[in-house]
Amino acid sequence: MKPFLLSFLSVLAISTAFAQRDTPDELPTSKGPLTIQPLVHATMVLTLKNLTIYVDPTGGAANYTGIKPPDLIFITDIHGDHMDPATLSAVRTSSTILVMPKAVADKLPGDLKAKAVILNNGETTTQAGITITAIPMYNLPESPTAMHTKGRGNGYVLGIGGKNIYISGDTQGIPEMRALKNIDVAFVCMNLPYTMDVNEAADAVLAFKPKEVYPYHYRGKDGFSDVKAFKAKVEAGNKNIKVILKNWYPAK
Output the tens digit of pLDDT for each of the chain's 252 residues: 454 444 444 444 434 444 589 999 999 999 999 999 999 999 999 999 999 999 999 999 999 999 999 999 999 999 999 999 999 999 999 999 999 999 999 999 999 999 899 999 999 999 999 999 999 999 999 999 999 999 999 999 999 999 999 999 999 999 999 999 999 999 999 999 999 999 999 999 999 999 999 999 999 988 999 999 999 999 999 999 999 999 999 886
135 domain residue, yes or no: yes
Query: Is residue 205 within a helix (H) or strand (E), and if so which, with residue range?
Result: helix 198-208
- pLDDT at position 19 is 59
Is 251 inside a domain boundary? no
C-alpha–C-alpha distance, residues 22 and 158, integer Å = 23
List C-alpha distances in Å: 215 to 19, 92, 160, 192, 248: 20, 27, 20, 14, 9
* Residue 176 within a domain: yes
Rounded Cα distance between 128 and 106, Å, is: 24
Q: What is the pLDDT of residue 41?
A: 96
**Would you state the pLDDT for residue 14?**
34
* pLDDT value, residue 251: 80
Can you give the pTM of this predicted structure? 0.92
Number of helices (H), then strands (E), in the chain: 7, 16
Predicted confidence at residue 20, as pLDDT, reads: 83
**Nearest in space to 215 (alpha carbons), one of 180, 252, 242:** 242
The pLDDT assigned to 115 comes to 86
Domain assignment of residue 249, yes or no: no
Peptide bond into 141 cis (omega under 30): yes
Q: Evaluate whether residue 252 is within a structural domain.
A: no
Residue 106 placed within a domain:
yes
Which domain, by its residues, includes 65? 3-14+22-243
pLDDT of residue 18: 45
- The closest of 131, 184, 129 to 159, measured between CA atoms, is 131
**What is the C-alpha to C-alpha distance for residues 7 and 37, in angstroms, rounded to an integer?**
25
Q: What is the CATH number of the domain that holds 77?
A: 3.60.15.10
* Separation of CA 37 from chain center: 12
Quote the number of domains for the chain: 1
